[in-house]
Structures are given as C-alpha cells and as structure tokens.
Amino acid sequence: MNILGLSPEEVALAERIDRVAVEHLLPIAERFGERHEICRELLEKMAEHGLLGLNIAAEYGGAGGDHRYSTLLCILREHLGYRDPGVDFTFGLQGLGTVAIVRNATDDHRAELLPDLVAGRKVYAFAVTEPQAGSDVRGMTTMAVRDGDVYRVTGTKTYISGAPDADVVVLVTRTAVDGGPPAYTAFLLDPKAPGVTVRQDIELAAPHSIGTIELDGVEITADRRIGAEGDGLRVALGTLEIYRPSVGALAVGMTRRAFDLALDVALDRSVSKGQLSDLEAIRVKLARMWVDATIGRGLVYRAAALRDSEQSSVREAAIAKLFATEAACRAIYESQQIHGARGVTVGEMVESLARHARRQRSTKGRRRSNARSSPVPSWRRRPMTAVRVPTSRPTIRCDASSMASGDDPKSLLPWATRPERSASPTCAWPSMVRTSSEHRL
C-alpha cells in the first residue's frame, strides 16, 4: 500500500520509530524534564537505535537513505513530534545543524563530521538569526573580513537553538566585497575558539537549549568554509528550504496527537444525555482537526518528495510549513477547549503541545516570510479597477421628530438596508449523520 508516496519499507519504518520513541526515548525524556539544555543521553539512545543516520550515506556510517533525505526527515519528525515535541527538538536540532554539511560541505568535512552525527557524539547548531535580522537573511550584519587564508569574524547571532551545548556551529556571515554587492559565506565554527562567547540568556515558554553567540575578531581559516566564498546565501536558504517541510511534519504530528487526546476525552466524558462525543459541536471540532492533519500531511510529503527529486520546492516548502503550523495551533486550541480546565493545567500533554506549537509558527521563517516565499502567479497580477466613489452622502434623519414618528431605524440609513431574508430558504444544512464511537470518526 502506497501512502503519500511512501514505500512499504518507509511505512514500516514509521511504525518502528513510534515503538522506539515509546519504549526507549520517552522514559529518558520524562526523567530529564523540561530544561534549557540538550539531553545527551537522549541523543545517544537515538544513535543506538539508528535514528540519526537513517538519511545519511553509508560511507559515513549511516543507513544509506540520503536519496530520500527530506522524506525520511519528515517521517522521523512527525512520529517523534506526535509522542513528545521535546524529544523531536533533540533530533531536529541535529538535522538543522547538519543539512549544510550534508549538502554543501566538502568530502573531507563530511568524513570528519557526519560519523559523529550518526553516533550521537556531537551537537550541531545553525547560526543565521541576528538581533535585527531574523527571517531577513540578507539583513545580517555579522562580517567576515578575509586576510590571506584567515577570516576575522565580528558580530552577534541570537536565538540560536542548541548554541549553549553545540560542539559545531554552521555560521553564515556577510563577506566584505570591494565595490560589489553584499556577499555571504558559510563557515564551520568551533564555539570554544578564542573570541567566541556563548550565552544561555533566553528562556522560552517551551524550554530548550537556545542562546546568543558573540564573535569578536574570531579567526576562521579558509579550509573551514562551506562552499565557495559568496555561497552563504545559497547555503542558508537551501537549508531552510529542506528543513521547512520537516517543521510542518512536526506540526502534523502534534495535530494528530491533539486530535487523539481530544477524542479520548470526548468518548470518556459523560454529559446529561450521553457522551460528550455525541454533541454535534464537538464532532465538528474533531472533524476539522482530522481534515487539517490530512491536508497538512499531503502538503508536507509533497514538498519533501519534490526536494528529494532535486526539484525546487521553495514555494511548496513554505506552503507546507505555513499551513501545518497554523493548523496545529488551531487543533491544539480546540483540543484544549474539549479538555476544559485540564487543557490549561501544567503537566497535561495538551498544555505542553500548546507551548511547543506556538514556537513552530515563528521559527525557520515567520509566517509572513513564508507567504512571501510564494510568488504571485502572473495570472493573478491584474491591474486595479477604478472604484466609483459617491460624491454626496444621503441625508440622515436623526432628529427627535423623526424618531418619535415611529420610523424604522433602518430607513434612516438608506445604504444599510438589506433584502429581507426568505422565510423558506432554498437550501439548508444537511443533518449530521451519527455514527457509533467505535468508528473513531
């Protein structure tokens, strides 16, 4: 059976990921709790079960699934995110920090760094965001000035996930160009190098390792550059193009979990005339959640499949991430409403989902930036038509005599009158078909 373009082996893989998460990863995450740091034990356990190398070439110790890199990334994040978004963060951070290495680094860099990724020995981070330049990659001001075979880098990066715990950072900076347009270059940065200061100075509603990196004349040799000088923008935007569908996959996983949690409450809770799930309003909420999850899934895996086939997926990746994260926030809110007071109680899974989902809407490109990534088709670019503006306004009679005469107030506002509603509408909402709870919608 082919589901969303997934092979039978990939469907079986999704089931295995779910089992590994429940049996091995969740117990570690529960003991570790919510902290602003990386759980190294969790990382090692993922590596032990082969999760970190599924989409890495066999020559670097991986499982050889690099030809399906984006799709496998989405499968992993959807199913880890369903069980615990915090667990997914530990995995997702490794992917974000190594996409540029997998796609753009030299063979020597890959041979040096990817085996450590597969074995869970190192933590990787991706540093683009700056205090005044978040999604606007071209607005960054961190500067790398070349002096022979050495670049001296000065600037500040902030809101860098994994920064306080990272062993390797993919850093994107401006590069000084005499008389030419701004250029950008990507580097491999050692966060322990002289001149680098890393601070854990940010606390989020959904805690995880995140902080600020300050660079004061940091020296990076030319052999630590990723790609050619001036390729930094391509490296950065390419990383986001590949990674955005996986953020959508995480959101789909959270949407599905919110649905399942809400459905369990609706089936278990009794109301005056039966179960909560018997109420039409509740059934509509549940149906909308399932529809959102289904649509989001299709968008996510379509974008991933395009990228795996070496086609541009900039627009599709932005659409998938935008829709899926918005849908997750809607579904989790409705799930909280069905939970009642439990929905906002710390310790409840749906409350944790709400905090994690909000973060996904604002990362890897804000919503308006994602929308801007999708160009307006030429057939939609139509000239504005002239709008006729009335040169005079109708007289409004609002004196005491007119009101006392018993006139209909609507008649005093001629432009506000509307046609009368028909007493017998030509169409009506179809009656809801009730099914037994065993069908689980």
Residue 257 Cα distances to 79, 264, 339, angstroms: 10, 11, 13
Q: Within the chain, what is the greatest distance between any pair of CA atoms?
A: 92
- Which of 222-231, 397-406, 407-416 ranks highest by mean pLDDT? 222-231
- Domain boundary assignment for the chain: 8-123, 127-230, 234-375
CATH number of 234-375: 1.20.140.10
Show the tokens assigned to 58.
């066999």
At 313-353, the pLDDT tens digits run 999 999 999 999 999 999 999 999 999 999 999 989 999 99
Give, for 71, the enclosing helix (H) or strand (E): helix 69-83
Check residue 126 and give its pLDDT: 95
Is the pLDDT score of 26 beyond 50? yes
What is the C-alpha to C-alpha distance for residues 44 and 355, in angstroms, rounded to an integer?
26
For the CA atoms of 331, 51, 191, 126, the dihedral, rounded to the nearest 10 degrees, stands at -40
Q: At what angle do helices 280-308 and 232-268 cross, to 10 degrees?
A: 150
What is the C-alpha to C-alpha distance for residues 40 and 412, in angstroms, rounded to an integer?
72
Say if domain 127-230 classifies as CATH 2.40.110.10: yes
Check residue 179 and give its pLDDT: 64
The conformation of residue 23, written as its DSSP 8-state character, comes to I
Q: CA triplet 63, 64, 66: central angle to 5 degrees?
A: 120
Q: Is the pTM of this model over 0.85?
A: no
Say if domain 8-123 classifies as CATH 1.10.540.10: yes
What is the C-alpha to C-alpha distance for residues 297 and 2, in angstroms, rounded to an integer?
14
Could you tell me how many residues make up the chain?
441
Residue 420 Cα distances to 143, 167, 417, angstroms: 67, 70, 9
Q: How many helices (H) and strands (E) does the chain have?
A: 12, 10
Check residue 205 and give its pLDDT: 86
Is the pLDDT score of 424 beyond 90? no
